[in-house]
A and B are shown apart, each in its own frame.
Chain A
Amino acid sequence: MNALYSLLFVFLLVLIPLFGVDAAHLRTFFGICIPVTAFIIFLIGFIYKVINWGRSDVPFRIPTTGGQFLSYDPKMFKQNKYDCPQTGAQTFVRMVLEVFAFRSLFRNTAASLHETKDGHVVAYKSSKWLWLFAILFHYSFFIVALRHLRLFLEPIPFFLKGMEFVDGLLQIGTPTMYLTDVCLIAGVVLLLGRRLIDPKINYISYASDYFPLVLILAVALSGIYMRYYAKVDVIAIKDLTMGLVTFNYHVPETIGVSFFIHVFLVSILMAYFPFSKLMHMPGIFLSPTRNLPNDTRAKHHVNPWNDPNIKAHAYADYEKEFGVPMAEAGLPLDNPENGKAPEEEA
């Protein structure tokens, strides 16, 4: 049901620019006002969220570990440096691998039940599918987003032409089919299919899980439809996009409606981004379960907001202070001297 609602909602979102541009001729509204507003919402929302996270307290080291801690005998029990990092450098490597290679997804294991003649047996095996779909999707999306810079930069930096060449290496059709377009669609469909088909994941999926996937799928499909099927005047679009970045807004008349649908969906994605699970993009860097070294047993932790006026009160001092009533109550004392009342001493 959640998936269906998300799909329906995205259909509705497509209809808005379709009627808004084709029937109501709100070209400036959909070509300039909506994307600029969405970009501002994205920036402010993003900054607000990250600052807000940065302000929350991280009083303890709480890394999730998946390997051997640095032990008393490192030769016998070798430390797993990147699953149980103990220094800043090891944590850095762990984070780099996490951010660029999705290492924790690579470690994913799936439990399965097998029937044998002795009854049911539970088996755990490495399951790399999620990692594969995720890495396919994220890298494709990144390259696709980067490729769009050709519409926002003039002069165009050299690497964009090289990227365009490698991406269109198969030279299928005109405009050349991009490999990343295919991989992006494949990645989203697989991630979506995983939620729909696997009953365990389906059970824990909300509309907020389906909606971003369906929305990104719609963004990609609308872009592909615009580029390969509807075909638009790219130079007129560059005129519009360069107008956005040079603050010289105008909407050429020759741009087709498919462009406005694509831009509207991207704007929705941008405006929705800071309030959604998509914030895992900055969130991965701010995850205390990832970005902290596991050194609680190596370094003394002082709570940073302790009141400096409150001094440590050791048990020996405590016993000195309360020794008499403790002795009266019959409590054992480390030092029996403390139990004597001061008058008796004198």
Chain B
Amino acid sequence: MRMQNGFPIIVGLLLFIGALCTPFLVGTAVTGTYKEPELKLPANEKNCVESKEFMREQHMQLLNDWRDWALRDGKRIYTNHAGKEFTISLQNTCMKCHNNKADFCDKCHNDAAVTPYCWDCHIQPEGLK
């Protein structure tokens, strides 16, 4: 096959395709089999503020709303979908059960490469390091 400037074209093409396929190489060579992060769930409490599905998808929205309600509107009581009431507080309500940030929050946040800014204001709990 005759190509004009074949060498740089093939090299460029290989670099591009290689970059695109890096996740496959890393996936098979480094990761092996991927497992969802395993969370340390609270021992003495089975139900969170909302259902598991809701918390998985919407917890960031809930926390954001809680912050706005508590700090800007002075509303400190949250009624969940089942009608049960909770005190709006990250450190006193959430962290009462999920008392270990490293074993709970950080697991998924690291997995999804997100850095929520909760701890810019809140005191970092035990178990960070």
Q: Is A277 an interface residue (CB 8 A)?
A: no
Chain A contacts for B28, CB-based, 8 A: 245-247
When chains A and B are docked, how far (Å) is the Cα of A175 from the Cα of B109? 12
Contact check, A58 vs B4: say whether CB atoms are below 8 A apart.
Answer: yes
CA distance A152 to B34 in the complex (A): 10
Answer yes or no: B48 CB below 8 A from chain A CBs.
no
Which of A57, A176, A233, A304 is close to B56, meaning CB atoms less than 8 Å apart? A233
Interface contact B112-A150, CB-CB below 8 Å: yes
A58 — which chain B residues lie within 8 A by C-beta? 4-5
* Interface-facing stretch out of A76-84, A154-162, A188-196: A154-162
* CB-nearest residue of chain A to B57: A231
Contact A242 B112 (CB under 8 A): no
**Is residue B36 within 8 Å, beta carbon to beta carbon, of the partner chain?**
yes
Would A150 and B113 be within 8 Å (CB), given that A43-B17, A175-B60 are in contact? Answer: yes
Contact between B27 and A57, CB atoms less than 8 A apart: no
Among A57, A174, A243, A285: residue with most chain B CB under 10 A: A174
Contacts of A46 in B (CB 8 A): 16-17
Render B80-116 as a binary contact track against A, CB cut-off 8 A, 1 for contact. Answer: 0000000000000000000000000000101111111
Report whether A246 and B34 are in contact in the complex, using a CB–CB cutoff of 8 Å.
yes
Find out whether the CB atom of B53 lies under 8 angstroms from the CB atom of A254.
Answer: yes
Q: How large is the interface on B (under 10, 10 to 19, 20 to 34, 35 or more residues)?
A: 35 or more
Stretch at the interface among A47-55, A100-108, A129-137, A309-317: A47-55
Residue of B nearest to A255 (CB): B57
Complex partner residue of A164 from B20, B27, B33, B113, CB under 8 angstroms: B113
If A174-B60, A256-B57 touch, whether A248 touches B116 (CB-CB below 8 Å) is no
CB closest residue in chain B, given A151: B112
| Separation of A28 and B30 alpha carbons in the complex (Å) | 26
A49 to B10, CA, bound (A): 12
Q: Are B27 and A246 in contact (CB under 8 A)?
A: yes
| B108 surroundings in chain A (CB, below 8 A) | 234-235
Residues in A with CB closer than 8 Å to B124 are none
Encoded as 1 (CB less than 8 Å from any B CB) or 0, chain A from 11 to 50 comes to 0000000000000000000000000000000010011001
A235 touches B36 (CB 8 A): yes
B34 and A164 contacting across the interface, CB-CB below 8 Å: no
B13–A171 CB distance below 8 A? no
Q: Are B34 and A242 in contact (CB under 8 A)?
A: yes
Assuming the contacts A174-B64, A245-B26, asked whether A233 and B57 have C-beta atoms less than 8 A apart, the reply is: yes
Q: How far is the CB of B24 from chain A (nearest CB, A)?
A: 5
| A-binding residues in B (CB < 8 A) | 1-6, 9-10, 12-13, 16-17, 20, 23-24, 26-28, 30-34, 36-37, 53, 56-58, 60-61, 63-64, 108, 110-117
**14 further interface pairs, Cβ-Cβ under 8 Å (given A155-B30, A164-B114, A246-B28):** A43-B20, A50-B13, A54-B5, A54-B10, A57-B4, A58-B4, A153-B26, A156-B111, A156-B113, A161-B115, A164-B113, A171-B117, A231-B61, A242-B34
Listed A/B pairs (18) with beta-carbon separation below 8 Å: A46-B16, A47-B17, A50-B13, A54-B4, A55-B3, A154-B111, A155-B30, A156-B113, A174-B60, A176-B114, A235-B37, A245-B26, A245-B28, A245-B31, A246-B28, A248-B34, A254-B53, A285-B12
Which 8 A-B pairs rank lowest in CB-CB distance, beginning with the nearest? A245-B27, A242-B34, A152-B23, A174-B60, A150-B113, A174-B64, A246-B27, A54-B9
